[in-house]
Structure 1
C-alpha cells in the first residue's frame, strides 16, 4: 500500500451549489484503475446537474460532475495489466453489470441494474483523480494530445449516431445543430466519405462547420427538406425531431441524440409511416461507438481542438458554467485540475 494521494475536486452538494474540496484517494482495488485527470469538458447535462433540472433518476447528490474527461493511468489494482500505467486514456461512463451480455458489447439498452454513470451518480472528472473499473478504459496512442482527447466522449455519442445512420461513401447527410455534438458528427461523417450539410439556427457557425468538413450550411431547413439519405439530430430543441424526419428522403433514416425540454410539437406518426422514414435514437455511447471514436481520433479524422473556446482551473468551475450559460460564443469549455 502506498500513502493516500491528495487532490482537489469540485462537488455539487445540492442543486445551485458548488464547493471545492480536498480529497484523499486510496490505491485502486481489484479490477480498478486510478487516473490522473488532465482535462474535463463541461456538457449541457453538467449544467443540468448544477441547476437541478436533470431528471431525478439520472443524478444523485452530492456528486462530483464530469464525464468528458481524459487523463493518465497512475496506478492499477489486482487483475489489471501493469503495462497500462502511464498510458493516456479516456473512459466510458455508463456502467453495466459485469459478466452479462450487455456489458460484453457495452450496450446500455441491456442494463440489468439501476442506472449508474460517472459524473452523475458516481464521482466524475472535475477532480485531480478518478477511480473506475479498468474495463471501461480506452487506451490512446502514445503521445496523444490529452486536451483534444477530452472531446472523445461526446464524439462517441455521435459515433453511435453515425453507425446507426448506416452511411457509406457518397451518402448525403444532414446534421441538425452546430454545437459540440453536431460538429463532431460532421467530422466523423466527412471521414466516412459523406457529403454533409449542417442545418443551424443562424449563420454563426458557418465557418467552423466548414473547418470540420461540412460541404453545405443552411439556417433554413425548409429549403432542403427531403434531400438526405440520413439525418443526425444534435440540437435537442423542441421541434427538431420533426424537422429531422422532414429533411430525410423517403425511406431515409433519422437519428435523434438531443433531449428537448418539450416535445409537444414533435413527431407525427402520419409523417413517419407515409414517408417510410426510419427513426433511431442514441442515449450514451456503447463500446462499439467508443472504439469507433478512439480509432477516428488516432487516425486524425476526429479532432475536437477547433471546438475548444475556453479553459479554466477547476477552482473556477462556477465561472466556467456562467460562461457556457451566457451563450456568448462559448462552445467547448474545459476544466483542468
Structure 2
C-alpha cells in the first residue's frame, strides 16, 4: 500500500485574507480509499486570488486553507482499499467531493451535488504544496508520457468540456467564443475540432485575439466589431464573466440559437433581456464547474491532442514565491497568461 518513509512536505497556508505562510511538516499516510500525490504543477486562477484577497463567498472557502484546485502529479502512496498499482501513475483529480448518493449525483451531475459544497483547495487542503491527498475515486489517470506541466490545466479544460457538451456544436455551424482568457482559448481549441464553418474569438485584447487564431479560431474581433454580428451565430460560448458578456452573448446568437455561459458573474452583472429570449427562442445553458463525465471528456481530448494547454502558461514560480505569483494573477499585466506553482 505504498511506502511510508518519513519525509518533510511543504505547503502554502492562507490563514485569512492577505495572510499566507509556507509550512513544513511530516507527510501523512493516505487514509482508507485515498491516495497521496506528489504535485508536479498547480495553476493559479482568479478563484485562488479571491480566496487570498478575501473576496470569495464565505460559504465557498474555509480558512485556514491550502489553496490549489488546478493541478497534476504522480501517485506516491495509497491507502487501504486502493489498488497499489496506482503508485507511480501520472494523474489529475476532480476537485468537488461529491456525496455520490444525492439525486443530482445519481443523475451524473456530480458538480451540482446537494450534499453540501466541499472542494479541494477551498474547503480541503489543495495542491499549493509538495503533496495533496484525495479520494482515489476522483482520479483521472493520464498516459505515461503525459506532460504534467500542461496537465495542470485540465481542471479549467474540464469546465470547457462541460460547456462544449452543453452547447452541442455541429459541423458547419457559426460559433463565437466571448472572452479569450484561459477558458476561452481552451474552448476555441475544443470547438475547432468540431469543424465549424466559422469560429470567432471575441476579446478586447489584441494579444489574446492573436493567440486565439493560433489556437484554431478563424477570426478574432474586439467586442465593438463583434456587436455588428448580432443574430449571426448558431452557438455562442461565453467565458469572460464580465458585467455585460451574458447579455452580449445572447445578442450574438441567431433566432433559435444556443448560448452557454461559463463565466463566473459578480452581483450586478447586466441581466439577459427576457424579450430577446422569448422572441428569438434562444436556448441558454450555464456551467458551474465540471461533472465526472466532463472531466473524462477533457482528459480524453488531452490524450488525443485536441486540447493542448501548454501554450497558455507564461510564468512558473516555486512555492517560496507564492506572494509574487498570486500578485501577478489578476494584475492586468498583458504578458501574464497562466501562472503555475512548481513545488
TM-score, normalisation: structure 1: 0.96
1:106 Cα deviation after fit: 4.8
Of 291-300 and 319-328, deviating more is 319-328
Aligned equivalents of 1:286, 1:233: Cα separation in 2: 19
Kept after mapping to 2: 8 A contact 1:96/1:102: no
Matched position secondary structure for 2:320: helix
CA change 1:19–1:187 in 2 (3 A) is same
1:64 Cα deviation after fit: 0.6
1:264 Cα deviation after fit: 4.5
Match of 2:200 among 197, 202, 212: 197
1:82 Cα deviation after fit: 1.6
The equivalent residue for 2:30 is 28
CA change 1:278–1:98 in 2 (3 A) is closer
Structure 2 regions of 5+ residues with no counterpart?
none
Aligned equivalents of 2:231, 2:290: Cα separation in 1: 28
Instruction: Please list the CA deviations of residues 37-77 of structure 1 after superposition, one character each: whole Å capped at 9, or x if unmatched.
Output: 00000011000000000111111100010111000000111
TM alignment of 1:175-324, pairs within 5 A: 175-194=177-196, 195-219=198-222, 220-324=225-329
The equivalent residue for 2:336 is 330
Aligned equivalents of 1:24, 1:104: Cα separation in 2: 38
Matched position secondary structure for 2:213: helix
Of 53-62 and 76-85, deviating more is 76-85
The equivalent residue for 2:42 is 40
Kept after mapping to 2: 8 A contact 1:221/1:243: no
Aligned length, in residue pairs = 337
Kept after mapping to 1: 8 A contact 2:96/2:111: no
Aligned equivalents of 2:83, 2:173: Cα separation in 1: 41
TM alignment of 1:77-92, pairs within 5 A: 77-92=79-94
Matched position secondary structure for 1:204: helix
Aligned equivalents of 2:194, 2:6: Cα separation in 1: 46
1:121 Cα deviation after fit: 0.7
Structure 1 regions of 5+ residues with no counterpart?
none
The equivalent residue for 2:55 is 53
Instruction: Please list the CA deviations of residues 73-108 of structure 1 after superposition, one character each: whole Å capped at 9, or x if unmatched.
Output: 001112212211111000100111144564456523
Aligned equivalents of 1:284, 1:110: Cα separation in 2: 9
Kept after mapping to 1: 8 A contact 2:100/2:110: no
The equivalent residue for 2:171 is 169
Of 166-175 and 262-271, deviating more is 262-271
1:204 Cα deviation after fit: 2.2
1:110 Cα deviation after fit: 4.6
Aligned equivalents of 2:259, 2:330: Cα separation in 1: 29
Kept after mapping to 1: 8 A contact 2:4/2:77: no
Aligned equivalents of 1:69, 1:202: Cα separation in 2: 27
1:269 Cα deviation after fit: 1.1
1:184 Cα deviation after fit: 0.4
Matched position secondary structure for 2:207: coil
Match of 2:74 among 72, 75, 79: 72
Kept after mapping to 1: 8 A contact 2:111/2:291: no
Aligned equivalents of 1:119, 1:109: Cα separation in 2: 15
Kept after mapping to 1: 8 A contact 2:210/2:220: no
TM-score, normalisation: structure 2: 0.95
CA RMSD of aligned residues (A): 1.5
